[in-house]
Amino acid sequence: MRSEWWRGAIIYQVYPRSFFDSNGDGTGDIPGITAKLDYIRSLGVDAVWVSPFFKSPMRDFGYDIADYLAVDPIFGTNADFASFITAAHERDLKVVIDLVLAHTSDQHPWFKQSRQSRTNPKADWYVWADPKPDGTPPNNWLSVFGGSAWQWDSRRQQYYLHHYLRSQPNLNWHYQPVVDTMFDGVRFWLEAGVDGFRLDAITTLAHDPNLRDNPARPKEMRPQRFADSNNPFSWQESLYTRDQPRTLELLADLRTLIDRYDNRYLIGEIADVDMITVSAKYTRTGKHLHSCYNFELMQLGCTAELLGDIIKKTESVLGSGWTTWAMSNHDSIRVVSRFGKLDHLRGDDRALAKLLLAFLFSIRGGACLYEGEELGLTQAEVAFEDLQDPYGIEFWPDFKGRDGARTPMPWSSNEPNAGFSTAKPWLPIPPEHYPLAVCEQEKTENSALDVCRHFLAWRKQHPALIRGDLKLAASTDPVLVFERSDQNERVLCLFNISNRPATHLLSGVWQTLSGHGFSSKRAGDQLELPGFGAAFFSRS
């Protein structure tokens, strides 16, 4: 039976290091997630996405895997993860795990063997290439984390490819033994009971086998996300390092494997490309991914016009495809801080957090809710001496890295380390997060947490908001208006993307909906929205 549970699903992202520490070593773990499953379920979400927990030297905090089949000891054991899956399923929560297919750690036994010679059994498992006659790298490809994407290895007298850290060598997905072995790993976790995979950086899975140079990107076309404005990586068009034809072939094979199991799910992270167009290509056939996760809502701007443009483009190209939206994650500046710096959104972080959650849960598609986003957590300022993220250390001070979005979850305002751990946490918890702790918000009516719970419970009463179509409606900045509809109901959704009051003229006969946690004033066809306000109406 295939329920397509993922359509319109709300997925709660857990960053294991920072969620809850069950054994007092300062680092979150799998038993800690299990201990907090009742909290996750209370939010009204449908699934839990757990960021990497596999055995790893942790140079990129789990995205550099040394054993795909083992839980890293800092997070627990395979038995702990089995208990977590059972406990989640008992609470009607699906389990989605991060799967890093494109690269491994340089500490993986495969790579240790591959680098020894050009003739050993693992020699072709990674992307190796000879230098140019002058000794320089094979081409101009750049790493996201700075510098060349090629690293010299003196044993083989060749360069190996790494799209990220040099300790993250790329697997050679043009080599069938790699495909077969990695798919065996997928089967292992399917048999263990996971319900789906979030495929990390999936557009980097395959490379151009001819190793052609990437062309330059015009300065005015360079993206402004993260450290891109100061990182030469964004100065190239990733023509030969992203979204290769081979990737689509591999995803079709992976989907065939996944479809042998009931109700399993593939969601791919899409970045460094035309994200909406590639999301459509990877999902609309029904033969590749079920959904795509992109960074369109993690940019630096937020206006009614900009959000409307993203929705318009998505609706025009997605077709029968599906996308899963996110506004925050472990790689981006927390959304309240990112948008709260804009003049028209300054002033009330709590109200802004609630507005953004309502918008995220109302647009067509699924949504990922990053741990702490339901609390309205702000981006933490982490001192250089406390930084753990190699990305931030490399680009400091222009870009301070991702640690500010990874600080531990505040559970209690009156316990040491905010109730996260009895030991010093791996990252410091900022003082401003203590008043936002779960225990405080659970006893505060109309807190961000309270609104999140009520809104998701209310959303389940309106299937049009879960799987219905979306149609943008005419509106004037700063108000964004769209309609969600299915066979039984039409829901009109209005959002004031500003900190000042705004009005909107309703057209047609609409009945006011309540129970979602927002208030507005209506006089005839004239609707008054407070700053950061939202309103919802329906008709059959």
Burial class (CB in 10 A: 0-12, 13-18, 19+), 34: buried
Strands 366-370, 323-326: pairing kind: parallel
| CB 358 within 8 Å of CB 41 | no
Interval 189-219: pLDDT, tens: 999 999 999 999 999 999 999 999 999 999 8
- pLDDT of 292: 97
Interval 290-328: pLDDT, tens: 999 988 999 878 999 999 999 999 999 999 999 999 999
Show contacts of 214-223: CB within 8 Å, 24+ apart: 214/139, 214/140, 214/141, 214/142, 214/238, 214/239, 214/240, 214/241, 215/239, 223/299
- Say how far apart CA 431 and CA 58 lie, in whole Å: 27
- pLDDT of 3: 80
Interval 32-89: pLDDT, tens: 999 999 999 999 999 999 999 999 999 999 999 999 999 999 999 999 999 999 999 9
Distance set, CA 316 to CA 138, 280, 311, 312, 398 (Å) = 39, 10, 8, 6, 37
Q: Looking at the predicted structure, is the pLDDT value of residue 1 above 60?
A: no
Q: Given its phi and psi angles, is residue 491 left (phi above 0), alpha (psi -120 to 50 degrees) or beta?
A: beta
Tokens 């807190």 -> residue: 447
Instruction: Tell me the pLDDT band of 507, cut-offs 50, 70 and 90.
Output: confident
* CATH 2.60.40.1180 placement within the chain: 468-539
| CB 203 within 8 Å of CB 278 | yes
Residues of the chain above pLDDT 70, percent: 98
Q: Looking at the predicted structure, is the pLDDT value of residue 231 above 50?
A: yes
Q: Is 200 a catalytic residue?
A: yes
Q: According to CATH, what is the number of the domain 468-539? A: 2.60.40.1180
Helical (H) or strand (E) element with 266: strand 265-270
Marked catalytic residue, from 21, 200, 374, 483: 200
Q: What is the mean pLDDT of residues 245-255?
A: 98
| CB 498 within 8 Å of CB 537 | no
Marked catalytic residue, from 29, 60, 72, 269: 269
Residue 136 CB: number of other CB atoms within 10 A? 13
The residues, any chain, with a CB within 8 Å of residue 428's CB and separated by 6 or more, are 380, 382, 383, 386, 407
- Say how far apart CA 349 and CA 345 lie, in whole Å: 9
Q: What is the mean pLDDT of residues 241-251?
A: 97
- pLDDT of 2: 63
Q: What is the mean pLDDT of residues 462-490?
A: 97
- Say how far apart CA 416 and CA 440 lie, in whole Å: 15
Instruction: Tell me the pLDDT band of 180, cut-offs 50, 70 and 90.
Output: very high
In the three-class reduction of DSSP (H, G, I as helix; E, B as strand; rest coil), residue 22 is classed as coil
Q: Is 153 a catalytic residue?
A: no
- pLDDT of 463: 96
- Say how far apart CA 268 and CA 251 lie, in whole Å: 10
Query: Any idea which fold 10-103+176-204+245-458 has?
Result: TIM Barrel (3.20.20)
Q: What is the mean pLDDT of residues 337-363?
A: 97
Q: Looking at the predicted structure, is the pLDDT value of residue 286 above 90?
A: yes
Instruction: Tell me the pLDDT band of 225, cut-offs 50, 70 and 90.
Output: low
- pLDDT of 272: 82
Q: What is the mean pLDDT of residues 387-409?
A: 92
- pLDDT of 266: 98
Report the amino acid identity of residue 1. M
- pLDDT of 221: 83
pTM, full prediction: 0.97
